[in-house]
Amino acid sequence: MKAWSGHIIFEKGFEYRKLADVYPDLYTKFLKETNQSNKEEPEVDVTILRSNLIDLEKNRKPEGYNRIGKIRMIFPIKPDPEMYIYKQQSRSAEVVKVTESISDYLNDHGIKNHVEWDRMLLYKLKKRK
């Protein structure tokens, strides 16, 4: 299976602060699985992680990993909390693999969620053409 985006939808009543304890490992897992850790300037990854943790501890939506790269991890501004993994250029089996891995990790750590594929408005418009 290939997808542009994998959406991890959290269960009703979810609060972002629930991610604070597991987020450092989740963030590291994402960077490793997508081979995007900044080996030349590791302090960049540490700074992004710290910024996200500050938001999570205050129960705010974090940024995620929204850098120029092949795959991004985004927490969109929506009424229902979710996060998504996406690749801009094309459908990818890697998006599916990373999304499922992160979803499983969260479920294993008591953060219930389910996954949906290609829910972004841009891709829905592309399909209509």
Residue 57 or residue 78, greater confidence: 57
Cα separation values, 128 from 41, 89, 120, Å: 42, 18, 13
Other CB atoms within 10 Å distance of the CB of residue 110:
9
pLDDT digits (tens, 9 = 90+) for 66-107: 887 789 999 998 888 999 999 877 888 999 999 999 999 999
Q: What is the dihedral of CA 10, 58, 27, 123, to 10 degrees?
A: 50
> What pLDDT is recorded for position 120?
81
Other CB atoms within 10 Å distance of the CB of residue 34:
20
Q: What is the gyration radius of the CA atoms in the chain, in angstroms? A: 14
3-state secondary structure of 74: strand
pLDDT band of residue 41 (cuts 50, 70, 90) is confident
User: What span, in angstroms and rounded, lies between the C-alpha atoms of 39 and 58?
Assistant: 29
pTM over 0.75, yes/no = yes
